[in-house]
Chains A and B, each alone.
Chain A
Amino acid sequence: MSHPTEVDYLRWIILLPLLGAMINGLFGFHIQKRLGRGAVIAIACTPVALAFVLACTAFMQLVGMEPDQRFLLDDMSEWIHVGNLKVNMAWWADPLSSTLLLVVTGIGGLIHMYSAGYMDDEPSIWRYFAYLNLFTAAMLTLVLGDSLLTLFVGWEGVGLCSYALIGFWYKKLPNATAGSKAFIVNRVGDFGFVLGMFALYWCLEQTGQGTLVVRELVDRVHLLDGQTVFGIGAATFITLALFVGATGKSAQIPLYVWLPDAMAGPTPVSALIHAATMVTAGVYMIARLNFLFDMAPTTLGVIAFIGTATAFIAATIGVAQWDIKKVLAYSTVSQLGFMFIAMGVGAYAQGIFHLFTHAFFKACLFLGSGSIIHALHHEQDMRNMGGLKKYMPITFWTFLISTLALSGIPPFAGFFSKDEILWKAWSSPHGSGLIWLFGSLAAGLTAFYMFRQVFLTFYGEYRGPGHAGEEDHGHDDGHGAQGHHEPHESSLVMTIPLMVLAAGALLTGFLNVPGALGGHHIFDNWLAPVMTAGGHGAAAAAASGAHGVVAELAADVEHVVHSVEHDPFEYILMGVSVLVAFAGIGLAWLIYMKKAIAPERFSEILAGVPYNLVYNKYYVDELYDATIIRGTLALSSLLSNFDRIIIDGVVNGVGFVTKSIAAVEGAFDTYVVDGAVNAVGSVTAWVGNRVRTIQTGHIYSYLYVIVIGVAVVLFVQLI
């Protein structure tokens, strides 16, 4: 890998939001009381804005460099240095991390701004913004950290902030439970992550080259060849373990269950954490370590399989949800599945591209739904919405653009990114037709449930209570004085981010127009120096640093890529996926707009097991609850009883036996040993009592005794 260019401003990208979090976290309570909400918001938003400026600086600096020299490093200080393990607090920006950097600071900044409007009725806003800033800092640590351990710090940090934000309204116990669930499920993933990390370190340490720094790993992973862990190839084991971590963080089967529950948090949080940034961490990590994953074809197969299954299953669940945010949540899970498909077939750059576009349109969708929820006073059930188009035009249009993007309709962003993945799924040496088939089906389902959502929410008649004007909610967003109870458009603070994001959803796709459509793969090329395989720059990267398997694979892939560049098949597949999307939209239109098929009919058609199964999310939560959670609790109470009864029983038993022996001995002591002693004593006392009468206290009587005694002695002597 190229020599890094040393800079010293990257640290501030992390430190600024951290500073904001600290100020608001420690003094926010007083700031809000003395200086008002505005101060809190300013303290929270300014650092993120500045961080965005810095991120742009880094990005521009990278753009200005030679493609294979694009690498900025900010080595702050030593962090942990024990034995051979040396991890620094060092931050790096290369094409991959700088892209994510822009997403996190840019979209993060917009969402900070949006939050100021959305959370306007929240009493302790300082707490919210402290968490949000902390999250931003942690996410940036994850992105910028130059070693797996620093990445892991961010990894855990975002999990923590996610916990805090999901359970933000902790007075409602279900929210708190959802937070705990998210954290614990994430921890299961972290468990895999740390194991992968340890195994990686020690396998390299076997050859004296242990490291966790990513840029050093690139040159050293070939040392893993021929090593095994638990009987399977080292690279396979390590990547599988790391992938377990990714399934936790990025909500893949079997660890996706936390994400839908995580919707208990405030909606901007869902947009930022559970759509745009944190949940994509797993994808980022795999792309970051693409050189390692390339060494493990088995793992790639597993990833592709899990990705496909998740994309499809989550899409089916999304069809049957009524909660506006739950639909988006399952949609996120499904889209993350697409990203993992990309990873699994070695199309890392395409996966990251989808991550990039998805961040825009999914954040926009969440914020749009937030706008609706805010307008309807925390109503989330789509059955109580409808006809909102005329009340909230900006929200409607931005929502629609993003929906089109998500559904993969050209020329919106989602079309380019999703289609590219499906194409790679078909054409890559790791891919297969089955992945493509299920991927396309999932894409069709996506179009269906998204338009179902649009139709239910924005079209038809308003079905909410506000319409009848019966309930007086007491508006707290400045419009209350006007006295109308109909839903209304949100304030500018909230709509500006919507518009920016919708523009992103509309335009970002053009960053990576495929060659087949006359484009130049700008995005792929940008990432090429980081991706040793799968992209257009594979050749250059392979020549510069890859070894062994990596080189072969890279050469293969390059060959494939070039030979099929303008395969007519690509156009056919493209057409098919657009058709599938339109089919989904059409079906939704038929059911929910035209009412050609009544929704009730629809559920009857699918009645019985499948629909119930889907409606209840395949009973996965119940299954986990019945097996893992109950199992753990049972084990824990079993062990606790074991502790109390058996171990403590033994201890107390020993104590009891000892005490019994002691009692016997005590008796012996009392009656035999002490008896003898006391007998001596009482005999003495008895004798004393008899003898004491001799002492009369009269001097003359003593004298008589003396005289008599002397006389007797003399008498005896004289005889």
Chain B
Amino acid sequence: MLTWMIFTPLIGAALILLLPKKAEAAIKWVALAATVPPLIMAFQLYGSFDRTTAEMQLVQRVPWIPSFNIEYYVGIDGISITMVLLTALLSTICIVASWNIDKAVKAYFPLFLLLDTAMMGVFCSLDFFLFFVFWEVMLLPMYFLIGIWGGPRREYAAIKFFLYTMVGSVLMLVAMLALYFYNDPHTFDLVELARRAPTYSANFQRFAWIALFIGFAIKIPAFPFHTWLPDAHVEAPTAISVILAGVLLKMGTYGILRINYAILPLGTLEFAYYFLVVLGVINIIYGALCAMAQTDYKKLIAYSSISHMGYVMFGMATFTQQGLDGAVLQMFNHGTVTAMLFLLVGVIYDRAHHREINGFGGLASIMPFYTGWTALAFFAAMGLPGLSAFISEVLVLLGGWQHYPALTVVAAAAVVLTAGYMLWTMQRIYLGEPNEKYLDLPDINMREVGMLVPLAIIVIILGVYPKPVLSLIDVSLTHLNDVVLSAGQGPVASASDVLSVR
């Protein structure tokens, strides 16, 4: 089933290549049809997922390159299922969001579907080599999607994105090979690698941890590796921004949980404070402050993404049940909320053809329904109760207090900053006297509402009743947390020693 989920979009891409170039409508419908089966399967997956075990489920393994012990090995656990659900949902929505693409349609949709396959693959892979392959495959379509269909500075943004990620990939490759050769018999099997974690020496763990972390941190993006994000977002077309913020950023944190945490628990304990907690807090505050200074609507949202991903990093490194659950929940919630935000920016950009925050004003009187949707998304991003991000942010900060009270105070200050820049933006764009220039802008249309509705429903349901997601992730994260903390019981250092230094 996972295999079908991963490769159905690719089949769709192949079909599109067979269609004539002129048949744009057909291409779009085929692309949509190719993303729907994974979505249906995702629902099925959600229903049948066993919530009581931390084991990998729906495992499928086939030898791929036997001479190097490389396998096609896929499976999911509580951490990845949320991301798979998110990917399936956002892919479908983004195809709809791409409906008004009119430049080289026959190239755009296959690339998009290829991207979809790669994202699914990353989240399902349990073989490090397979993981890496999907990781790299993802870059290529992304590069073209930004570089061809983007804004005026698209080449710059695309190249920046590509090079940044390549640097990370190289480090990841090094660490991957190191892990491969360190073990005897050599293996890329992530589950097996995790099981052998206690045998890795402390120095090896440190080295591998840092290399992997930088690889993933670029993707998150963690300060100071974040500057590709605003550029990429500003230039990328709407749907790609949604995918970028909604799914791609999560790969960084997902990778840290799946690989750094599970395979290098000792390195995690030692470095989490410096690299996750401190950088997480910097991300939160720095992102929020930078967002406040932006005048480009999309850049503002991009920086708010940086800020929100800080919560994920912070939560992961708390080593408390609340913090970890909150972090993964935040990954999911940020995916939905930020997707809404980018879609909404796309709506106004399609109409006014600019994104200058100070260039609008009083849109609430002109486009009341659009404003209502934006308000919902803004409030969700601010973490208001009843909306999903509230629960994840509270859990993250609550979890943070146990080991890092002082930093939690700093991080919590962001609730004020977030409210500040969000409301200020709201005020500048939507409230006040309507701008004469835009009096005839049409309100949000049915296609756009259709994209927002599922996201809004999820945001509200999870805000009122977070259990559907929490129950998925809880067991896996408890297990992961135990793995990491128990690694500290060894001769090198005890968990409490490492943590109580602070």
Binding site for B on A (CB under 8 A): 77-85, 149, 152-154, 156-157, 160, 163, 167, 170-173, 176-177, 179-180, 183-184, 187-188, 190-191, 194-195, 197-199, 201-202, 205, 229-230, 632-633, 635-637, 639-641, 643, 647-648, 650-651, 655
Contact = CB atoms under 8 A, between A and B. Distances in A.
B415 A187 contact: yes
A202 B227 contact: no
Interface in B456-478: 465-467, 470, 474, 478
A180 to B, nearest CB: 4
B402 A157 contact: no
Given A83-B320, A156-B390, A201-B401, A639 B293 contact: yes
A79 B386 contact: no
A80 B227 contact: no
A85 B409 contact: no
A701 to B, nearest CB: 54
Contacts of A639: 286, 289-290, 293
B156 to A, nearest CB: 9
A641 B227 CA distance: 12
B420 A184 contact: yes
Nearest to A78: B467
B386 to A, nearest CB: 7
16 contacts: A83-B322, A152-B385, A153-B385, A153-B386, A170-B431, A170-B432, A171-B362, A187-B419, A195-B401, A636-B292, A641-B293, A643-B290, A647-B224, A648-B227, A651-B227, A651-B228
Given A180-B427, A184-B423, A205-B402, 15 more contacts: A82-B325, A83-B325, A84-B321, A85-B321, A85-B395, A149-B394, A171-B433, A173-B432, A177-B427, A180-B424, A187-B420, A195-B408, A202-B401, A633-B292, A636-B293
A201 B409 CA distance: 15
Contacts of B228: 651
B443 to A, nearest CB: 12
- What secondary structure prevails in chain A residues at the interface with B? helix
A647 B282 CA distance: 14
A173 B415 contact: no
Contacts of A154: 385
Nearest to A637: B293
A640 B401 contact: no
Nearest to B398: A198
Contacts of B413: 191
B401 A198 contact: yes
- What secondary structure prevails in chain B residues at the interface with A? helix
Contacts of B467: 78-79, 81
B391 interface: yes
Contacts of B434: 171
A633 B421 CA distance: 10
Contacts of B408: 195, 198
A84 B321 CA distance: 8
B405 interface: yes
A209 to B, nearest CB: 14
Interface in B399-423: 400-402, 405-406, 408-409, 412-413, 415-417, 419-421, 423
Contacts, number: 152
Contacts of A183: 419, 423
Contact of A80 (B364, B400, B409, B470): B470
Nearest to A152: B385
B169 to A, nearest CB: 16
A191 B227 contact: no
A85 B322 contact: yes
Contacts of B423: 163, 179-180, 183-184
Nearest to A153: B385
B220 to A, nearest CB: 15
A633 B427 CA distance: 16
Nearest to B290: A640
B69 interface: no
B384 interface: yes
B427 A176 contact: yes
A633 B292 CA distance: 7
Name the residue in A78, A82, A205 with the highest tally of chain B Cβ atoms < 10 Å from its Cβ: A82
A217 to B, nearest CB: 15
B420 A632 contact: yes
Nearest to A177: B427
Interface in B136-183: 160, 163-164
B419 A194 contact: no
A171 B432 contact: yes
Interface in B218-235: 224, 226-228
B286 to A, nearest CB: 6
Contact of A156 (B321, B322, B384, B421): B384
